[in-house]
Structure 1
Amino acid sequence: MTDTDVHILLVEDNAGDALLIREWLRDAGWLPGKLIVADRVASAREVLATATIDVILLDLNLPDSDGVDTVLQIYLAAPQVPIIVLTGLDDQTAALGALKAGAQDYLIKGRMDGALLARAIRYGIERKRLEADRERLRERLEAEHERLRFLANAGVVLAASIDFEETLASVASLAVEFLADYCVIDIVEEDGEIRRLQVAHSNPEMADIADQLLRFPLDRNRPHLVSAALDNRQATIVREITDEVLQSVAQNEEHLRILRALDPISYIAVPLLARDRLLGTLLFVSCSHSYSDGEMRLAEELARRAALAVDDARLYRRAQDVIRARDEVLRIVSHDLRNPLSTISMSAEILMDENMSFTEEQKLRQLRIVLRSAERMNRLIGDLLDVSRIEAGQLSLDASYHAPERLVGEAIDLHQAQATAKVLSISGQVEDGLPPVLADRDRILQVLANLIGNAIKFTPEGGTISVTAENAGDEVRFAVRDTGPGIPPEQLSNLFRPFWQGRRGGRDGAGLGLAVSKGIVEAHGGTISAESEVGTGTKVSFTLKPASERRGN
């Protein structure tokens, strides 16, 4: 700002003094600048309300005000503008009073000239600028202090629980204390579904209204406030929420009524991201002001910390589930090994009893029992070793070309007697013209044996089992379908986990067969999946690449 750019308000009721001051300003080089003259406090206040003023030259004694009160009135009208008092009174008490009331300087008209007035103006403007800079710095430091305090509190809250739902509920409560009037949290479940987890409001009187948002879960097929955060994984700030925006995201009239009742002004939507995975979104809504970029950065930092805490909590929960499942499997394996081992021991004791005589047929019967028990133990140990190899990525394959109809036929032949004994009908159907598959025969028969064995185990007497092979585009799809009791939908996603077993009836075996089957199929480059309907039956299918494609690769 140059001297000629300064806008000066001279509050002086003496026309002669006003003319003299104008001349001094011109001589000192402050004119041509904009000089406005007011002869009363009232008219000066009107000027300050409508015009941009850089400095005020103020006479203490005016027709509508006198003394320090004059300074106070002008200061309250424009506290950001420097005031230089011009008076004919050489009164130290009055000077101190004026300075305490907000004046930057105090000049006596009889001892003043243009140079002195020019220095006072420059000093007053510069001092006011420095005061403004200091105040802005103080505000920034206070804001930074509050930000750090908020994040420190957030750290304590996030570390307080290993339950991620409790953690996010605490985040919502913390957000409405410092960052938002209300906060909405949506999470992405393991299966990709979105669930509205928490809504919190800073005003207890509005909490019931905000809680009604829980009845309107996020619909990805409709516009919603967290679209960018959810779809593009980017934080978004909207500084003004119009009624048109509310209408566009409302799912129905009741939803719109609730949104309008909350009276939002601005919002920030932030994704919860950890290890490049989307865990959910945080929506911060202000009903009092438009959000700033600084508040958006704070929201992003809170979301980053919350996402890490949620990810840790989920990993901990998953680890605990695995540990519990492992312990359960170990218990089952111990039991399943102990049973055939006891049988072997009993048969051996019978054969070694010198007080008993056996026919050759009786001896062979006991030896067959020992052999079957040993084979059962060997199968269980083999499954455990296969799971270990699969998890280590060390499952080896001995692949060659095999016709799908041969694989299906062999699998059915191996289980025909078992199915007949349970009064089950088992059949095979292979689409004509299927190409051979490049596969490890024994491993694929192991997969089919696991699937058919499960079907026989869970299908009641009189049921049917079908084994099929068909063309599936650039793959061959094998499937085993049964008419058993079916599997509940909530269990399907866990069906192929190594240390998990559903509850479809009595337990027979350690339940590792499907995990092993999944590993074998994926080692062949295929996929395995299950479809089921409770009360109707289950279909488990897997795919293999045709030999021609595998040969080309």
Structure 2
Amino acid sequence: MKPEVLQVLLVEDNLGDAELLQELLEEATGSEFEVKAAIRLSDALTHLSENNYEAILLDLSLPDSQGLDTLVRVQEVADRQPIIVLTGLNDEEIAVRTVRQGAQDYLIKGQLNGVLLGRAIRYAIERKRVEMAMRYALDQEREMRELKSRFVSTISHELRSPLTTIFASADLLHKFSSRLNECKKGEMHQQIKAAAQRMNQLLDDVLTIWKAESAEQPLIPVLMDLKQFCRDLVEECHIQLEDLQSSHRGESDRTIVFVSDCSSCPACVDRNLLRQILSNLLSNAIKYSPQGGTVRLELNCDGSNAIFRIKDEGIGIPESDLDKLFSTFYRASNAGGIYGTGLGLAIVKKAVELHGGAIAVSSEIGVGSTFTVTLPLSPTFLGNASRTVEEKS
């Protein structure tokens, strides 16, 4: 069997030592080593940014860096590669400090031969792989704990609030039904209905996320005109917006506009998932624009993709929240006073990914946010499509 070839970066300013180490690696058995040499830390950092090495042999005393600081600076750009420190000093204290800092090994140059050096590199690579696997597992466990915590917190809070409304309204109707006029009874029945719908929507969102996470969400693409679909959706949003503004008098007016440079835009997409994508984004744009303003839905086609942009003039999203914005049950830090579960954008991202598309966001506090969704137009781009149905006219 042909031995594996391992790419090694040797950082050593003593040319004699560098030549000797390369000769030792040529004598090593079990693996072949391709060595790239650097005599300065700056050169090493450049090599690490441009190439992927399996291991790094590092002398701590270089012309432009000395001691443990050399190791730290290399780790900053190569935290996934094993680093083996090479030194001419047989100092146990420094050796312990070096390993504590994260080096995989500490080798004395004068005590090496080809077999020992080759074995040390292979063992360091394997230890680093185990370390990275353990780090990944710990990260996954931590994320799962955080997700469970957010799930329990969100579900308990979002279910308790509508349940309180239902219990209070039902209790009032039971105790004071004879004293309430029909208009007041109608308002209470409407409050109960709205609270129940809110709970039902929350459970639907949780089920949608669960199906997407467990790969049980089918993709059923149909041939449809995206431009007409957007027109119809915006018209539905206008009706909902009028109801919202009539029930919350005193709030600033919001408007929704749809613009497109396409005469028509036929595409093969999942109608229900597309509705979830655009409805969630438009709903958020309205909800997070308490001071009013215009919400724009833009549709453009570039030949192979449909590009949707949803722009608002709302409160914006802090830059520190953007990386986690599409995580399940995560809400932006400035959204505390506005109702939400942290599920909408997670659902949007899953629906976009099922189509083989992409979503991006840009935002500025106090100015507004823009969400850009790119979906392929052709069914040949849909890797997970279960079946394709041509929509009836």
* TM-score past 0.5 threshold: yes
Which AA in structure 2 matches 1:448? Answer: L
What is residue 85 of structure 2 aligned with on the other side? 284
Q: Structure 1 pair 370/271, CA: closer, same or farther in 2 (3 Å)?
A: closer
What is residue 279 of structure 2 aligned with on the other side? 449
Which AA in structure 1 matches 2:269? Answer: A
Asked whether the 8 Å contact 2:291–2:314 carries over to 1, the reply is no
Which AA in structure 2 matches 1:445? Answer: R
What is residue 367 of structure 2 aligned with on the other side? 536
Asked whether the 8 Å contact 1:230–1:280 carries over to 2, the reply is no
Asked whether the 8 Å contact 2:54–2:125 carries over to 1, the reply is no
Asked whether the 8 Å contact 1:498–1:515 carries over to 2, the reply is yes
Q: Can you list the C-alpha shifts for 1:90-145, whole angstroms capped at 9, x where unaligned?
A: xxxxxxxxxxxxxxxxxxxxxxxxxxxxxxxxxxxxxxxxxxxxxxxxxxxxxxxx
Q: Can you list the C-alpha shifts for 1:209-245, whole angstroms capped at 9, x where unaligned?
A: xxxxxxx9x9xxx842573697233335599x9xxxx
Q: Structure 1 pair 542/292, CA: closer, same or farther in 2 (3 Å)?
A: farther
The structure 2 residue matched to 1:414, chosen from 212, 236, 241, is: 236
What is residue 322 of structure 2 aligned with on the other side? 492
Q: Distance in 1 between matches of 2:172 and 2:325?
A: 42
Which AA in structure 2 matches 1:496? Answer: F
Is 1:361 the counterpart of 2:183? The answer is yes
Q: Structure 1 pair 306/452, CA: closer, same or farther in 2 (3 Å)?
A: same
Asked whether the 8 Å contact 2:45–2:77 carries over to 1, the reply is no
Which AA in structure 2 matches 1:537? Answer: G
Q: Structure 1 pair 374/230, CA: closer, same or farther in 2 (3 Å)?
A: same
**CA shift for structure 1 position 281:** 5.1
Which AA in structure 2 matches 1:486? Answer: G
Q: Kindly report which structure 2 residues correspond to 1:56-205, keeping only aligned pairs within 5 A, or say none.
A: none
Is 1:339 the counterpart of 2:170? The answer is no
Q: Structure 1 pair 424/355, CA: closer, same or farther in 2 (3 Å)?
A: closer
Deviates more, 1:509-518 or 1:438-447: 438-447
**CA shift for structure 1 position 305:** 1.5
Q: Can you list the C-alpha shifts for 1:358-390, whole angstroms capped at 9, x where unaligned?
A: 444333322222211111111100000001000
What is residue 98 of structure 1 aligned with on the other side? none
Q: Secondary structure of the equivalent of 1:544?
A: strand
Asked whether the 8 Å contact 1:529–1:540 carries over to 2, the reply is yes
Q: Distance in 1 between matches of 2:298 and 2:219?
A: 23
Q: Structure 1 pair 280/477, CA: closer, same or farther in 2 (3 Å)?
A: farther
Q: Can you list the C-alpha shifts for 1:36-95, whole angstroms capped at 9, x where unaligned?
A: xxxxxxxxxxxxxxxxxxxxxxxxxxxxxxxxxxxxxxxxxxxxxxxxxxxxxxxxxxxx
Q: Distance in 2 between matches of 1:432 and 1:355?
A: 56
What is residue 8 of structure 1 aligned with on the other side? none
**CA shift for structure 1 position 302:** 3.0
Asked whether the 8 Å contact 1:485–1:536 carries over to 2, the reply is yes
Which AA in structure 1 matches 2:318? Answer: P
What is residue 461 of structure 1 aligned with on the other side? 291
Unaligned runs of 5+ in 2: 1-39, 68-73, 90-108, 246-251, 386-393
Is 1:433 the counterpart of 2:263? The answer is yes
Q: Distance in 2 between matches of 1:329 and 1:283?
A: 43
RMSD (Å), alpha carbons: 3.8
**CA shift for structure 1 position 478:** 1.1
Is 1:515 the counterpart of 2:346? The answer is yes
**CA shift for structure 1 position 331:** 1.6
Q: Secondary structure of the equivalent of 1:224?
A: helix
What is residue 235 of structure 1 aligned with on the other side? 55
Which AA in structure 1 matches 2:353? Answer: E
Q: Can you list the C-alpha shifts for 1:438-491, whole angstroms capped at 9, x where unaligned?
A: 223232122112111222222241433211111245110112112233323332
Asked whether the 8 Å contact 1:226–1:270 carries over to 2, the reply is no
Which AA in structure 2 matches 1:450? Answer: N
Asked whether the 8 Å contact 1:271–1:282 carries over to 2, the reply is no
Q: Structure 1 pair 491/527, CA: closer, same or farther in 2 (3 Å)?
A: same
Asked whether the 8 Å contact 1:463–1:483 carries over to 2, the reply is yes
* Number of residues of Structure 1 aligned to a counterpart in Structure 2: 311
Is 1:372 the counterpart of 2:203? The answer is no
Q: Secondary structure of the equivalent of 1:493?
A: helix
Q: Distance in 1 between matches of 2:236 and 2:46?
A: 56
Q: Distance in 1 between matches of 2:52 and 2:258?
A: 48
The structure 1 residue matched to 2:44, chosen from 192, 200, 224, is: 224
Q: Structure 1 pair 355/438, CA: closer, same or farther in 2 (3 Å)?
A: closer
Q: Distance in 2 between matches of 1:470 and 1:282?
A: 50
**CA shift for structure 1 position 548:** 6.7
Which AA in structure 2 matches 1:399? Answer: P
Q: Distance in 1 between matches of 2:206 and 2:58?
A: 55
Q: Distance in 2 between matches of 1:425 and 1:355?
A: 40
Q: Structure 1 pair 325/238, CA: closer, same or farther in 2 (3 Å)?
A: closer
The structure 2 residue matched to 1:383, chosen from 187, 192, 205, is: 205
Q: Structure 1 pair 455/354, CA: closer, same or farther in 2 (3 Å)?
A: closer
Q: Can you list the C-alpha shifts for 1:290-336, whole angstroms capped at 9, x where unaligned?
A: 77542353144234324422441343134223312322232221111
Q: Structure 1 pair 355/541, CA: closer, same or farther in 2 (3 Å)?
A: closer
Q: Distance in 2 between matches of 1:303 and 1:494?
A: 32
Identical residues among aligned pairs (%): 25
The structure 2 residue matched to 1:546, chosen from 372, 377, 380, is: 377
What is residue 13 of structure 1 aligned with on the other side? none
Q: Structure 1 pair 236/320, CA: closer, same or farther in 2 (3 Å)?
A: closer
Asked whether the 8 Å contact 1:426–1:464 carries over to 2, the reply is yes
Which AA in structure 1 matches 2:326? Answer: F
Asked whether the 8 Å contact 1:438–1:550 carries over to 2, the reply is no
Q: Distance in 2 between matches of 1:366 and 1:495?
A: 36
Unaligned runs of 5+ in 1: 1-215, 247-255, 263-268
Higher relative contact order (CA 8 A, sep 6+): 2
What is residue 208 of structure 1 aligned with on the other side? none
Q: Structure 1 pair 551/394, CA: closer, same or farther in 2 (3 Å)?
A: closer
**CA shift for structure 1 position 405:** 1.8
